[in-house]
A and B are shown apart, each in its own frame.
Chain A
Amino acid sequence: MESVNNFGQMSDFELCQALSSRKDIAELAFTEIYNRYSQMLFTFILRTIVNRADAKDIFQETFLKFYSCCVNGAKVANILPMLLKIARNLCLNRFRDKKAIVPFEDNRIMVFDEELERNETSKIVANALSLLEYPTREIFVLHHYQSLTFSEIAEITGESLATIKTRYYRAKEKLRNYLIPFLKNEK
């Protein structure tokens, strides 16, 4: 683990450079990248795409694409935005293909996998997020879970800053209204 700890001192750019080195170095660099960003990336995908099986597929594909980009000489200064961009494109493709899940008429649906959402809080949050439309949910997740600023989100999504802010506050209000009973219980 000592070598991993050494890699822990490296910047994102150095880690990406190391991926093109010898196999043992590339392996340690990739492990460090995975250690650093895997949870954040998976959280973003899961809370955006909502379906856990799809989230797992996209998560795997994102890391493989990212590795491929780095090995092919891409210069990456900040890994997380790049990972998020790859994941976001894959999520959009998945939505456009066949996996979109939205409410139908008045029948509100639950889109998380109950068996895998082990924690009560997770169930409540997943349920609340499923009420949001995809673009709004994505913005909310990026801001709340990834702690990205509105400007960073605008850069990733390609939307204007005003649109991002409007969508975010609208989403927040909708979620707040839904979560008020749970918030009161938390007191």
Chain B
Amino acid sequence: MDYIKLIDLYLEGELNQVEKDLLFAELSRNPELREYFEQQMQFNHLFQMDMQTISPPLDATNYIFSTLNFRIPNSAFPRPIPAPLGVLSNMKQILTKYVPFVASSVIGGLVSFVLLWFFIPSERAVDAIQQETQIVSQPGIPLGSAVEVPKIVASEVKPNSVPMANLDKAFQSALQNWLQQFNLQSNSSTTFTNNGTDTTQVLKIVENSTPSYSLSNQPLFASFKTLNKDEIFIPSTVSTRDFGVSFQDINPILHQLSKFSLSFRGYLHKSQPEVNVNLTQTSLLNNTGIGIGYEVGKNATLGFEFGQEKFAQKFTLIRNDDKSFYKQNPLLWWYGLYYQQAIGNLFRYESLKPTARIFFGGTPVGPLVRGMVGLQYNPDRRVSLFLGWEGTLLWYKVQNNLYQTRKNGLTYGVSVKY
């Protein structure tokens, strides 16, 4: 006896009394069959519950009655059971809609914070390394550490106490040594030249309260040019940090490691074609990209990036000579290589740079190309924030026809490195 079939017939109301008795006798003996029976009952109940939540849209009702020139039924009109509405359900809808975006931003921020917290060396660590550095003293060169600029005491020198020519020579030599150490070009030699004859000339050393230097090609002591030839500015405190030098520059392994960066990217894209179809898939990285980059040049980065994104698709499918148009909006994983190039020294603020990026990669349905132009801001050498406009092109093939999805919009993100 096929009891499964009997259950189906029972639920259809097509069993006679004898068959019913047979079925229930078996149900009382067979726990597996009983479980199946209960599932079938729940199955039916699920659809009944669903039906109770569906009601015709109010605007459709209004449209029909208005078109027929009838009075629109008022609230006395018995309505089907409405779906639960109210403040709580609205809040739930809002939370469901926005929580993933807020959560991904918060998690991205936390990850960045943890990375920065653990990997950026503290002042104490830098000091410890400096203390271990052997201090070299050469005749005529002021004492200083290997990573420091020549130490010059910021105080006024008394007349006749130091011959100007000697001091100038020593200073130039020390400065050149220091600059060579970091591959910098000194274009400030003329700044330090005195008249060459007056060896008793007073050298006025003026303390600069706001030093600002970097490893760029900008003149290191550009501010000297505004002074008289017998005056120079030096910073009141000269440390490795003032020159953008950290202990990564000393250790080659750390130096290489510092070229790697981890980036988190989000985007707000408009799609062509536009398809408003929602998905069942759980999205881990919806509209988010994670990248690992390697600094191949001063402002150039090569890297690998992956993420998840919805790609709207519209295409034609022919089945049994019946041609149909289809649309869908699947959430796809994407991955590929990118190259990013920034342009330095274009703006007054060097930490702000125009940047461009090109990406070649793929998705499970076809190849993907992206291009981005924007601005990059480096508040610190380890952190980079960027904002730009991105265009995306996805190709996919259906029944020997090639289709494409075009997207463009805002992209933003943060990149951190050791």
Question: Are A122 and B54 CB-contacts (below 8 A) given A31-B70, A64-B67, A109-B280?
Answer: yes
In the complex, are the beta carbons of B68 and A183 less than 8 A apart? no
In B69-104, which residues have CB < 8 Å from any A CB? Answer: 69-71, 73, 76-78, 80, 83-85, 89, 93, 96-97
A-binding segment of B152-160, B197-205, B327-335 = B327-335
Question: Are A56 and B60 CB-contacts (below 8 A) given A98-B325, A118-B83, A179-B43?
Answer: yes
Residue in contact with A59 in the complex, picked from B56, B65, B93, B313, CB distance below 8 Å: B56
A144 to B: closest C-beta gap in Å: 5
Which of B50, B80, B84 has the largest count of A CB atoms less than 10 A from its CB? B50
A100 to B: closest C-beta gap in Å: 5
How many angstroms between the C-alpha atoms of A101 and B83 in the bound complex? 25
In the complex, are the beta carbons of A42 and B54 less than 8 A apart? yes
Residues of chain B contacted by A67 (CB below 8 angstroms): 68
Q: How many residues of A contact B (CB 8 A)?
A: 62
In the complex, whether A159 has a CB less than 8 A from a CB of chain B is: no
Question: Are A186 and B42 CB-contacts (below 8 A) given A27-B71, A115-B93?
Answer: yes
In the complex, are the beta carbons of A107 and B330 less than 8 A apart? yes
In the complex, are the beta carbons of A100 and B63 less than 8 A apart? no
Residues of chain B contacted by A38 (CB below 8 angstroms): 56, 61, 80
How many angstroms between the C-alpha atoms of A161 and B119 in the bound complex? 72
Question: Are A118 and B313 CB-contacts (below 8 A) given A110-B277, A169-B8?
Answer: no
In the complex, whether B297 has a CB less than 8 A from a CB of chain A is: no
Q: Is the interface of B mostly helix, strand, loop or mixed?
A: mixed
In the complex, are the beta carbons of B68 and A30 less than 8 A apart? yes
In the complex, are the beta carbons of A39 and B330 less than 8 A apart? no
How many angstroms between the C-alpha atoms of A119 and B48 in the bound complex? 13
In the complex, residue of chain B having the shortest beta-carbon distance to the beta carbon of A68: B68
Q: How many residues of B contact A (CB 8 A)?
A: 63
How many angstroms between the C-alpha atoms of A65 and B123 in the bound complex? 80
In the complex, whether B318 has a CB less than 8 A from a CB of chain A is: no
In the complex, whether B185 has a CB less than 8 A from a CB of chain A is: no
Question: Are A122 and B53 CB-contacts (below 8 A) given A34-B61, A110-B280?
Answer: yes
Residues of chain A contacted by B364 (CB below 8 angstroms): 106-107
In A1-33, which residues have CB < 8 Å from any B CB? Answer: 1, 23, 26-27, 30-31
A131 to B: closest C-beta gap in Å: 10
Residues of chain B contacted by A126 (CB below 8 angstroms): 50
How many angstroms between the C-alpha atoms of A41 and B83 in the bound complex? 17
A69 to B: closest C-beta gap in Å: 13
Residue in contact with B46 in the complex, picked from A47, A172, A179, CB distance below 8 Å: A179
In the complex, are the beta carbons of A39 and B55 less than 8 A apart? yes
How many angstroms between the C-alpha atoms of A10 and B23 in the bound complex? 41
Question: Are A102 and B278 CB-contacts (below 8 A) given A169-B8, A186-B42?
Answer: no
In the complex, residue of chain B having the shortest beta-carbon distance to the beta carbon of A105: B365
In the complex, are the beta carbons of B46 and A39 less than 8 A apart? no
Residue in contact with B328 in the complex, picked from A64, A109, A172, A179, CB distance below 8 Å: A109
In the complex, residue of chain A having the shortest beta-carbon distance to the beta carbon of B276: A113
In the complex, whether A77 has a CB less than 8 A from a CB of chain B is: no
How many angstroms between the C-alpha atoms of A38 and B84 in the bound complex? 19
In the complex, whether B279 has a CB less than 8 A from a CB of chain A is: yes
How many angstroms between the C-alpha atoms of A109 and B331 in the bound complex? 9
How many angstroms between the C-alpha atoms of A39 and B82 in the bound complex? 11
In the complex, are the beta carbons of A30 and B50 less than 8 A apart? no
In the complex, are the beta carbons of A125 and B50 less than 8 A apart? yes
Residue in contact with B326 in the complex, picked from A100, A114, A183, CB distance below 8 Å: A100
In the complex, residue of chain A having the shortest beta-carbon distance to the beta carbon of B330: A107
How many angstroms between the C-alpha atoms of A103 and B44 in the bound complex? 25
Residues of chain B contacted by A102 (CB below 8 angstroms): 317, 326, 328
Question: Are A109 and B330 CB-contacts (below 8 A) given A42-B55, A101-B277?
Answer: yes
How many angstroms between the C-alpha atoms of A172 and B7 in the bound complex? 13
Question: Are A104 and B50 CB-contacts (below 8 A) given A39-B80, A64-B67?
Answer: no
In the complex, are the beta carbons of A56 and B57 less than 8 A apart? yes
Residues of chain B contacted by A97 (CB below 8 angstroms): 325
In the complex, are the beta carbons of B57 and A175 less than 8 A apart? no
In the complex, whether B133 has a CB less than 8 A from a CB of chain A is: no
How many angstroms between the C-alpha atoms of A41 and B80 in the bound complex? 12
In the complex, residue of chain B having the shortest beta-carbon distance to the beta carbon of A100: B324
In the complex, residue of chain A having the shortest beta-carbon distance to the beta carbon of B313: A104
A3 to B: closest C-beta gap in Å: 12
A20 to B: closest C-beta gap in Å: 13
In the complex, are the beta carbons of A112 and B49 less than 8 A apart? no
Residues of chain A contacted by B111 (CB below 8 angstroms): none
In the complex, are the beta carbons of A118 and B46 less than 8 A apart? no
Question: Are A60 and B325 CB-contacts (below 8 A) given A27-B71, A119-B53, A127-B280?
Answer: no
Q: Pick 13 A–B contacts, CB within 8 A, sort by A.
A: A27-B70, A47-B54, A100-B325, A102-B317, A106-B364, A108-B280, A108-B281, A111-B277, A112-B278, A118-B89, A122-B53, A127-B280, A183-B43
When A and B form their complex, which 7 residue pairs have the shortest distance between CB atoms, in order from nearest? Answer: A107-B330, A39-B80, A110-B280, A125-B50, A42-B56, A98-B325, A118-B83
